[in-house]
Every structure is written in structure tokens, then in C-alpha cells.
């Protein structure tokens, strides 16, 4: 087993992603192979959108572009250097979600770069793109027989499973006898201090609308300082007004807006997203919750109390800056659980 060889294979995939999205590639990249595969891959991207209309070409390109930037040799080597390579390769089951493109890819490369082999149950919502990625990686000698795609997990020594709160209860019971990471529903929040620039708020709209708000790193609630003019929020959203032209998003927006109208609930609306005053952290598609606050420390205490429901918090007073929620690094582990440390312990 050679971790450097596995890194080279995953790096090659990252270079392919950069080539496809017309970003800069390294001089030693295999452009002839990339050109040979590009027509097939573009067809896969179109098929992925047909199969799952939430996976628009714009969102697919954004996803691939981010992975292309992340999967550099430097990043990959820096990521794995603090972990020990396993001397006893185990079969690690991965049950993937499908809410956004390639959402299970980080788990896959974590397993591979820890020296284990992956037993993968893809989501039906993201099977086309993920299957291409798996086939691409299996072409490398260093990764032959390291990934098995299955309909049902078996012969696994550990598992990483991502799903809803309901499926998590099933997972926790079913996998209770083996080492596991079980992920539940999470969401992300924004906390404004009132000193945000126009550019900050425009970047916030990226955190909200990218992937139609379907990811756990999408902002679904905004905390605003008391007296903040909500018109500034709507103005910053303008560049995303085209989102209402997407049929599935539009249907959700219309439905939720109608529910609020029938319930005589108080909300703000700009014809493509609803701003609803609410203490709830989660919001449905087409709706952003907001809440005014007077004391920032009280907000921070509330975030601590709800930390098991929160993926990340964005704001000028927080570690993640506006516009960066959908640009995680290799060490930004879902739910804050160090997957590589977990795999190292098997």
C-alpha cells in the first residue's frame, strides 16, 4: 500500500476537475487523457441534471471547481501528514447523502488516504456523478480493489453514514456493534453585527442560495442586530433573483409562501425568497428565517446550546467569513468529527 501513490491518483482527479471547469492545471497534468474523457464526462453532467434537477450545470461546475482547487498535492500531503497510515486495512462502509453534488466524496478520499478500502452505498440522487468518480479512481494501480460500490452494505468493519434525523436512529441501532460515525440533520447560520459592507451581504447570498439551500453548510437563519434594515438583505439577494426560474425551487417557494398567507403569518417577500421572523434554526426551501438580537453574547450562548444542530456559523465576528460556507477545506470535517482520526483508530 502506498499513500503517496493514492495521493497522486486523487490529485489527478482534482486536475481533471480543474480542466473540465477551465481552471488552471499544473504543467505535468495528463491533458491528453482529460481531453479523451471530457465528452463522456460532459454527458454525465447533463445526465446527472436530468436524473436530479437540483443538480444544475451551474451548481455542478461550482462543485467541481471547488474540488479542483482543493485537491492539490500540497493540500493533500499537508492533510495526511498528521495521521498514521493504517497497517491493518479495514473495510469501511460509506452511506452517502445526495442533497448536493459529491457530498460523500470527502468521506471516500478520507478512507482511501487512511489506508483502508471503501464499501460505498451511493445516494440514488447522486449516483451518476459519484459512480464516474469511483470508476476514474479505480483505473489507478494504487487504488485497484480499494473501492467497492454496493446496493447494501456487508462485510464492513466500520461505517460512516449520513442521513436525516430519522434514518440516523436506524443507523445507530443497525451499526451499534461496530465503530461508526452517524451524521444527522444540520444547518448553518449567519450572525450580522451591523457593520457589514455591501460586498459582505452579497457574499452572504452565496452562502444562502448556492445549491438552492439544500446543503448543511447553507445559511437558513440570519441573526440581525436590533434595528437592522432588512431592505439591505433583499438588495444583496438581487443577483440570485434568477433562482425563481428553477421549477422545483419555484414550486417550494410558492408552496411555503401560500402556507404563510393562509396562516396569516407575518413575513417579508421579494418574489423569489421569503424572510420570516422565527426562532427556528431550520427553514424550508425558498425561506430564510431571521431574528433580531440586542446582546451578541446571548446569540453566542444560543449557538452553543444548539451546537449539535449547527454545521457552521458565518459572520465578521466568527471564523467563517461571508461567501465561504460552500468552500470548505480538507480539514473542515462534517459535524466537527475528525474522520481521519476515527479511521486511524480502527
Class of domain 3-185: alpha beta
User: Which residues lie across from 274 on neighbouring strands?
Assistant: 269, 287
Question: Where does CATH 3.40.309.10 sit in the chain?
Answer: 187-314
**C-beta separation of 228 from 211 below 8 A:** no
**C-beta separation of 253 from 285 below 8 A:** yes
Residue linked to cell 448556492? 210
Q: How far apart are CA 325 and CA 147, in angstroms?
A: 29
What's the pLDDT tens digit per position in 184-218?
999 999 999 999 999 999 999 999 999 999 999 99
**226 contacts: CB under 8 Å, gap ≥ 6:** 292, 293, 294
Question: Where does CATH 3.40.605.10 sit in the chain?
Answer: 3-185
**C-beta separation of 91 from 157 below 8 A:** yes
Q: Are strands 274-277 and 267-269 parallel, antiparallel or unpaired?
A: antiparallel
For the chain, the straight-line distance linking the first and the last C-alpha, in angstroms and rounded, comes to 17
The pLDDT assigned to 138 comes to 97
Q: Which CATH number fits domain 187-314: 3.40.309.10, 3.30.200.20, 3.30.1490.20, 3.60.130.10?
A: 3.40.309.10
The whole model's pTM is what? Answer: 0.96
* CB-side neighbour CA atoms (13 Å) of 231: 1
What's the pLDDT tens digit per position in 105-150?
999 999 999 999 999 999 999 999 999 999 999 999 999 999 999 9
Query: Other C-beta atoms within 10 Å of 321: how many?
Result: 15
- E strand segments, the chain: 91-95, 117-121, 147-149, 158-162, 180-183, 187-191, 219-225, 267-269, 274-277, 287-293, 310-314
Q: How far apart are CA 83 and CA 41, in angstroms?
A: 33
Task: Show pLDDT as tens, one digit a residue, over the chain (346 residues).
Answer: 589 999 999 999 999 999 999 988 888 888 999 999 999 999 999 999 999 999 999 999 999 999 999 999 999 999 999 998 888 899 999 999 999 999 999 999 999 999 999 999 999 999 999 999 999 999 999 999 999 999 999 999 999 999 999 999 999 999 999 999 999 999 999 999 999 999 999 999 999 999 999 999 999 999 999 999 999 999 999 999 999 999 999 999 999 999 999 999 999 999 999 999 999 999 999 999 999 999 999 999 999 999 999 999 999 999 999 999 999 999 999 999 999 999 999 9
Cα angle 326, 332, 333; round to 5: 110
**C-beta separation of 204 from 237 below 8 A:** no
Cell of 329: 477545506
Amino acid at each position: 500500500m502506498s499513500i503517496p501513490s493514492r495521493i497522486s491518483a486523487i490529485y489527478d482527479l482534482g486536475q481533471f476537475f480543474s480542466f473540465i471547469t477551465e481552471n488552471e492545471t499544473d504543467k505535468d497534468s495528463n491533458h491528453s487523457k482529460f481531453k479523451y474523457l471530457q465528452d463522456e464526462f460532459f454527458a454525465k453532467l447533463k445526465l446527472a441534471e436530468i436524473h436530479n434537477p437540483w443538480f444544475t450545470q451551474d451548481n455542478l461546475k461550482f462543485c467541481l471547481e471547488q474540488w479542483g482547487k482543493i485537491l492539490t498535492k500540497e493540500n493533500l500531503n499537508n492533510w495526511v501528514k498528521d495521521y498514521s497510515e493504517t497497517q491493518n486495512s479495514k473495510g469501511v462502509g460509506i452511506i452517502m447523502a445526495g442533497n448536493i453534488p459529491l457530498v460523500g466524496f470527502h468521506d471516500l478520499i478520507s478512507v482511501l488516504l487512511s489506508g483502508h478500502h471503501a464499501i460505498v452505498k451511493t445516494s440514488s440522487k447522486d449516483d451518476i456523478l459519484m459512480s464516474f468518480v469511483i470508476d476514474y479512481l479505480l483505473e489507478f494501480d494504487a487504488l485497484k480493489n480499494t473501492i467497492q460500490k454496493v446496493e447494501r452494505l456487508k462485510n464492513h468493519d466500520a461505517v460512516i453514514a449520513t442521513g436525516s434525523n430519522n434514518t440516523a436512529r436506524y443507523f445507530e441501532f443497525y451499526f451499534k456493534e461496530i465503530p461508526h460515525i452517524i451524521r444527522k440533520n444540520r444547518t448553518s447560520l449567519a450572525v450580522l453585527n451591523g457593520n457589514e459592507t455591501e460586498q459582505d451581504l452579497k457574499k452572504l447570498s452565496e452562502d444562502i442560495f448556492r445549491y438552492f439551500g439544500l446543503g448543511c453548510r447553507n445559511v437558513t437563519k440570519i441573526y440581525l442586530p436590533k434595528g437592522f434594515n432588512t431592505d439591505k438583505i433583499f438588495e444583496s439577494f438581487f443577483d440570485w433573483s434568477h433562482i425563481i426560474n428553477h421549477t422545483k425551487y419555484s414550486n417550494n417557494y410558492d408552496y411555503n409562501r401560500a402556507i404563510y398567507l393562509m396562516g396569516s403569518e407575518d413575513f417579508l417577500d421579494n418574489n423569489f425568497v421569503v424572510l420570516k421572523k422565527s426562532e427556528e434554526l431550520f427553514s424550508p426551501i425558498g425561506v430564510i428565517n431571521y431574528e433580531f438580537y440586542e446582546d451578541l453574547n446571548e446569540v453566542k450562548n444560543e449557538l452553543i446550546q444548539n451546537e449539535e444542530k449547527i454545521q457552521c456559523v458565518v459572520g465578521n465576528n466568527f471564523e467563517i467569513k461571508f461567501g465561504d460556507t460552500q468552500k470548505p477545506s480538507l480539514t473542515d470535517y462534517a459535524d466537527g468529527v475528525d474522520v481521519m482520526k476515527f479511521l486511524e483508530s480502527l
